[in-house]
Amino acid sequence: MIFEIKQTEKSYRLIQFKLFTILFLKTLSAFF
Percent of the chain whose pLDDT exceeds 70: 97
pTM of the model: 0.61
pLDDT band at 4 (very low <50, low <70, confident <90, very high): confident
Task: Indicate if the pLDDT at residue 26 is higher than 90.
Answer: yes
Please give the pLDDT value at position 28. 92
Alpha-carbon Rg of the chain, whole angstroms?
14
Amino acid 21 reads T
Local structure of 29: helix, strand or coil: helix
Please give the pLDDT value at position 18. 97
What mean pLDDT comes out for the span 8-21?
95
Spatial distance between the Cα atoms of 14 and 30, rounded to a whole number of angstroms = 24
Spatial distance between the Cα atoms of 19 and 9, rounded to a whole number of angstroms = 15
Spatial distance between the Cα atoms of 19 and 22, rounded to a whole number of angstroms = 5
